[in-house]
């Protein structure tokens, strides 16, 4: 539903240099960090903004729950996605 609303909101721009945020359209749940790592590799190969910003201002929606007082899977995001936002 978020994706549909984002697409119809008018907030999207085809000019990556003019974008305030970069949405990575993955369905993250649990500790599937391999999917995110593959997505980041693709983004880095085809779009310059990840490397320019060091991953900052990029976000992924994570539908996992809280386990033991921490976000599920967050410890696996260190490294290439450490500056990306987890929503």
Domain boundaries, the chain: 24-73
Residue 45's pLDDT is 93
Q: Give the predicted TM-score (pTM) of the model.
A: 0.64
29: which residues sit within 8 A by CB, 6+ positions away? 62, 63, 64
pLDDT tens profile 26-80: 877 666 678 888 888 999 999 999 888 888 888 887 766 544 444 444 555 555 5
| H-assigned helices in the chain | 2-8, 33-46, 49-53
């Amino acid at each position: 539903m978020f994706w549909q609303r984002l697409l119809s909101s008018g907030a999207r721009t085809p000019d990556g240099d003019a974008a305030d945020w970069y949405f990575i359209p993955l369905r993250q749940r649990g500790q599937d960090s391999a999917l995110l790592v593959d997505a980041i590799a693709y983004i880095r190969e085809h779009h310059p903004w990840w490397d320019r910003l060091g991953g900052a201002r990029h976000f992924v929606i994570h539908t996992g729950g809280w386990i033991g007082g921490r976000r599920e899977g967050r410890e696996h995001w260190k490294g290439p996605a450490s500056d990306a936002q987890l929503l």
